[in-house]
Amino acid sequence: MKAEVINPFLESARSVIEQVIQISPSVGSLGVKNIIPSCDQVWVQVGMSGHFTGMVVFGLQVKVALKIVSAMMGGFVLTEMDEMGKSAISELSNMISGNASTILSSQGYVVDITPPQIIELELANKDMLPRKALCIPLTMDGIGELDIQVMIS
């Protein structure tokens, strides 16, 4: 795994979160961890191909996802992660990944991304999980934490 690949995702996530929910996230420590989805979390996977092949997975607790979606919707409070909430979190992941792809392109790397896909725990590909990933958490005051996990080959 190449640690420098996570930096464009980090830069993009900070910028998109600041624009979309008007919060400046703080950055945690880079580490390696296993991706193991649980039923109290929302996981969004975006595939990558080109210079780097793999995926980025955005992980967050359901209560954090609900707060982010509420902020994205101008304060409209959601109490459960319904289709609208999943769509909003997917779009946030798409915006972050698209911007990161543009940053990588400006650095001379050609990277295409796939549309975001919510990983449903009961439908998760058991061959994929658990899997080691470079991980960096972003903490948003009053909202919670978003983990950005990158797996490339």
Res 127 pLDDT > 50: no
CA angle in degrees (0–180, nearest 5) for 125-55-22:
115
Per-residue pLDDT band at 35 (split at 50, 70, 90)? confident
Q: Mean pLDDT, the chain, as a whole number?
A: 88
Res 126 pLDDT > 60: no
pLDDT top residue among 134 and 98 = 98
- CATH level 3 topology of 3-152: Chemotaxis protein chec (3.40.1550)
CA angle in degrees (0–180, nearest 5) for 58-119-103:
35
pLDDT at position 70 is 93
pLDDT at position 75 is 86
Q: Where are the domains of the chain?
A: 3-152
The span from the CA of 95 to the CA of 106, in Å, is: 17
Place of tokens 């005051």: 141
The span from the CA of 53 to the CA of 55, in Å, is: 7
Res 13 pLDDT > 80: yes
Res 98 pLDDT > 70: yes
Q: What is the pLDDT of residues 52-78, one digit of tens each?
A: 899 999 999 999 999 999 999 988 888
For the chain, the C-alpha Rg in angstroms (whole number) is 14
| 83 SS3 class | helix
Neighbours of 97 (CB within 10 A): 28
